Structure 1
Amino acid sequence: MNLSCVPYCKKIKAFSFWGVPLFLLSFLTVVLAQTPSQNQPPTQNQGQNSSATTNKPSAGTAENRSAPVVANPLLPPGVPGKPIVIEEESDPLEDRLDRTITLDVREMNVIDVIKFLSIKGNFNLVTGGAIEGRVTLYLKNVTIRDAMDIILISNDLAYYVERGIIHVLTETDYQAMFGKRFNDKLEVAIFHLDYAKPSYALATLENLKSSLGKIVIDEDTGSVVMIDTKQALEEMKQALLTIEKPAEVVVYSIQFAKAEIVAEKLRARIDTNAVGSITTDERSNKLIVRAQPGRRKEVEEMIKSLDVPTKEVLIEVKVFQVILKPQFDFGIDWNLDFKSSDDPHIRDLTIKNLYLNDASPPSPLGSNFNRIAVGSLTAGDHFEMFLRSLKQVSDTKILSSPKLLVTNNEEAKIHVGDTVPYIISTTSGTGDNAITSEDVRFVDVGLKLNVQPVINDDGFVTMRLAPEISTVTAKVSSKGGGIPQINKTLVETSVMVKDGMTIILGGLKKDNKVRTEKGMPFLMDVPWLGNLFKYASDSIEHTEIVIFITPHIVYGHENYADLNGTVKGNKEIDPDAAPLTKGLKLKE
């Protein structure tokens, strides 16, 4: 044990003799090296390095991979401000360059404008040396890509994309790097239109630009920015000079149609961008068109086709009351009765039956037992011959013969009969406070006929017919008086006939109670005593209402004739009154 301990003890004694001085010397050296001199204050870089040493994260941390930091381009150089941090985007760069912006700058440095675009598009940007220039422009609703092309090409600059970063450099540097020009000899031209609409000019320029060209328009300022080759720009400039002419203002007097309706149809059928504007004056029924001179002919042709006289139909109606003889109590079979006539002309008279479309089987005109049937006289038959035939089978009485001039597809109404008044009493309140008020109302009875003609292109007229016959059968007693009880027969149908052909409506039967008095002449009229010399009898009179309707198409410049062929009027229109001859050209 003692022998083995001797060498170890010698080592401890050696460290105690030399180790203490050496340790103290090393400690003092380190302290003196880290203590700044009192005569030399720390520099600014030393202070920054000290701060960076404290706050800077170690390499490889997540903070080192944070979004890039760029200076604020909206602040003057040298002015301190908060830096702009461009956050990472998930959208591709192409989509970000297609975002639309509005740009309004005045004599701004081109680098600051490009930096502003990088902030809007949220993309990384690197600018090369020798980039200079000033930018003055106003662009509205354009893509960032188009804005960059306009700004860079107009300042002889270029850019390229590498690894998602846009590098901006001069045209000379771009050509030296890639061996070709950036814009492939593209140039920028800006036009300001005072008369033509940019959207209308765009449609023309799109057909003239090359495959490399771009066109940007602004409706508010009337600006057209074109980027293309020199040759294409010259062609587009000539096209703009042709389009950019003072517009003409022409006032058209609309004679037949409504100006507002014509204006609506014009806006729907032509390009309003090409015309300019279409307005109306409701008071004078005039159309005010502001258009390019080359478009005036197109507008006038459309107005001429729209402002035409409205077709009308002259409807001639004759209403007859036919008092049926006993053998015709069930109605008249026109064809059968005409064939048995002694008059050869009447025997040759034929009627074409047009049956109603209802659930019951069709029946000839007049033999359908309380049903309404429709027929028409064939071409070549005479109306007077038909009336003469009625006298052989019944006693006829004409009730009404109105004539109506109706606009195409409009409804006409005819009423032949009476307006029966009746009183409706209304009591409000109770006891002594009860108040009774009376309201006089009216109901139309007799014959009603609603006719709506529709003119077809082939000379036929489609007639929508709604005949109605009504009578007062009794009165329902009420506090204010009697309320009439109406017996009504109504049917609706449509018939298509040729212009000038007569339509016959039959089967409108009505039974009337007739009181007949007979007695000794003069004595039966003596008051009080006359009843001794007379007697009265009641009978039922069977009548049938027959309606004849003849439509005549009136074109506005032709005469129209009555049923018997006589000319009843002239509605000819002066051809010199055409709307286009009334056009008044104004200077804008």
Structure 2
Amino acid sequence: GEFEAVEEVPVEIEPVEEVSPPLIKEDEVEEALELEAPKEIKARPEAKAKVVPARADKISLDLKGVDIIDVLKMLSARSNLNIVAGRNVRGRVTLFLKDVNVWDAFEIILASNNLAYVKEGVIINVMTERDYEQLYGEKYYTKKELRVFKLKYAKASGVSKALNQAKSKIGKVIVDEASNSIVLVDSARSISKMEKMIKEMDEPIETRIFGLDYAKAEDIKTKISEMLTKGVGTIQVDERTNKVIVTDLSRKIPEIATVIEEMDEKHQ
């Protein structure tokens, strides 16, 4: 899968208006109650980061080479999540997401950096997968992979409907409409299956208008709806002119056209 390159922008992180629990390292937990949340979180000089306002439960991120600790601080400040980062948590994040759920953004960031988390009450402990295994004696049980697919022809919002039916119980399908991309967070097996679905659906699309002489547009719609490619194909009816407007994969249109022509023949 491809991921659209992130355009470099000046470091610009909006001040946090409301005081929220700061992200802290493990060796600072005992002093946590005495700490105040920073009014402004500054990224390191070489990093590019921008947090864009979104709806109450949504967030937009424009990150390039930002330290993972700084990113988790941003999420903590924006969402009131109480995050404690393990001493071995390190790395940098390059990511562009527009108007996505805060928790989805959190899981994407962790999955892309091979990190695990454990929720204990209102505290979210973030650690490396290795630390998780040493601490709990087993591999991270919600082991997920992350893949980003930029679509060329199909609309991400439409394709996501079909993918949501194929993902596993631990999987997530996230749509970034700005770049027409789909972010998959799931097991390797599930992602492999969904990747094949994306390739089948992300083909050239064609829209064709069919004028009917004998058949009723509504009757045609009922039949053709069963033939449309899931997540891609659509059919609209103009009852006034008795026409149907079909959108689907270019390779599927001839088959649909044949069925419409057969149904629109004059019966003796």
Q: TM-score per shorter chain, which class?
A: 0.5 to 0.7
State the partner residue of 2:94. 136
Find out whether 1:165 has 2:123 as its counterpart: yes
**What is the CA–CA distance in structure 2 between the aligned matches of 1:77 and 1:134, rounded to whole Å?**
11
Matched AA of 2:101: T
Instruction: Give the whole-Å Cα distance in 2 for the aligned partners of 1:175 and 1:243.
Output: 38
Deviation at 1:107, TM superposition (A): 2.7
Task: Report the Cα distance in structure 2 between the residues aligned to 1:263 and 1:273, rounded to whole angstroms.
Answer: 21
Matching residue of 2:80: 122
Q: Does structure 1 conserve the Cα–Cα contact (< 8 Å) formed by 2:86 and 2:128?
A: yes
Asked whether the equivalents of residues 168 and 186 of structure 2 are also in contact (C-alpha less than 8 Å), the reply is yes
Instruction: Give structure 1 regions of 4+ aligned residues with deviation exceeding 3 angstroms.
Output: 65-68, 248-252, 261-273, 276-280, 285-290, 294-305
Name the residue aligned to 2:14.
none
Tell me the TM-score normalized by structure 2.
Answer: 0.66
Q: Match for residue 140 of structure 2?
A: 182
- Matches of 2:243 and 2:259, distance apart in 1: 16
CA distance in 1 between counterparts of 2:95 and 2:126 reads 20
* Pair 1:294–1:132, CA change in 2 (3 A): same
Counterpart of 1:241 (choices 195, 199, 204) is 199
Structure-1-length-normalised TM-score: 0.33
Q: Specify which of 225, 235, 241 is matched with residue 183 of structure 2.
A: 225
Please give the secondary structure, in 2, of the residue aligned with 1:225. strand
Q: 1:291 aligns with which of 242, 245, 248?
A: 248
**Could you tell me which of 140, 151, 173 is aligned with 1:193?**
151
Q: CA deviation at 1:72?
A: 4.5
Corresponding position of 2:106: 148
SS of 2:232's equivalent? helix
Q: Please tell me whether residue 69 in structure 1 is matched to residue 36 in structure 2.
A: yes
Which residue among 53, 57, 61 is the counterpart of 1:99?
Answer: 57
Secondary structure, aligned partner of 1:147: helix
CA distance in 1, matches of 2:144, 2:172: 10
Higher Cα radius of gyration: 1
- Residue 256, structure 1, aligned to residue 213, structure 2: yes
| 1:255–1:170 Cα change, 3 Å | closer
Q: Is the 8 Å Cα contact of residues 262 and 303 (structure 1) preserved in structure 2?
A: no
- Would the alpha carbon gap of residues 264 and 76 (structure 1) be closer, same or farther in structure 2, given more than 3 Å must change? farther
Distance 1:257 1:115, change over 3 A: farther
Distance 1:255 1:126, change over 3 A: closer
Change (3 A) 1:105 1:226: same
Write the letter of the residue equivalent to 2:248: A
Q: Residues of 1 paired with 2:75 and 2:98: CA distance?
A: 14
Contact 1:125 1:165 in 2 (8 A): yes
Structure-2 change in CA distance of 1:300 and 1:120 (3 Å): farther
Give, in whole Å, the separation in 2 of the partners of 1:184 and 1:66.
31
Higher RCO (CA-CA < 8 Å; seq separation 6+) = 2
Amino acid aligned to 1:291:
D
Are the counterparts in 2 of residues 263 and 278 from structure 1 also a CA contact under 8 Å?
Answer: no
**Aligned partners of 2:261 and 2:232: how far apart in 1?**
16
Partner SS, residue 87 of structure 2: coil
1:124 Cα deviation from its structure 2 partner: 2.0
Which amino acid letter does the alignment assign opposite residue 219 of structure 1?
E
CA 273–226 in structure 1, closer or farther in 2 if over 3 Å, else same: closer
Q: May I ask how many residue pairs the two structures share in their alignment? A: 222
**Partner Cα separation in structure 1 for residue 166 and residue 206 of structure 2:** 26
1:26 maps to none
Aligned-CA RMSD value = 3.9
Kindly provide the CA deviation profile for residues 301-330 of structure 1, in whole angstroms up to 9, marking residues without a partner as x.
35754x566xxxxxxxxxxxxxxxxxxxxx
- 8 A contact 2:206–2:248 mirrored in 1: yes
Query: How much has 1:156 moved relative to structure 2?
Result: 1.3
d(CA) in 1 for partners of 2:151, 2:41: 32
Cα deviation, 1:500-532, whole Å, max 9, x if unaligned, reads xxxxxxxxxxxxxxxxxxxxxxxxxxxxxxxxx
1:232 CA drift (Å): 1.9
Alpha-carbon offset, residue 133 of structure 1: 2.0
- Could you list the per-position Cα deviations for residues 431-484 of structure 1 after superposition, in whole angstroms to 9, with x for gaps in the alignment? xxxxxxxxxxxxxxxxxxxxxxxxxxxxxxxxxxxxxxxxxxxxxxxxxxxxxx
The whole-number CA distance in structure 2 between the counterparts of 1:130 and 1:243 is 41
8 Å Cα contact 1:197-1:222 kept in structure 2: yes
CA positional deviation for 1:233: 1.7
Residues 266 and 302, structure 1, Cα contact 8 Å, conserved in 2? no
Q: What is the one-letter code of the residue matched to 2:131?
A: D
**Alpha-carbon spacing, 1:239–1:174, altered in 2? closer, same or farther (3 Å):** same
Instruction: Label 1:118 to 1:304 Cα distance change in 2 as closer, same or farther (>3 A).
Output: farther
Identify unmatched segments of 5+ residues in structure 2.
1-31, 46-55
Question: Is the 1:73–1:112 contact (alpha carbons within 8 Å) kept by the matching residues of 2?
Answer: no
**Helix, strand or coil for the counterpart of 1:145?**
helix
- More strand, by proportion: 1
State, as a whole percentage, how many aligned pairs show the same letter. Answer: 30
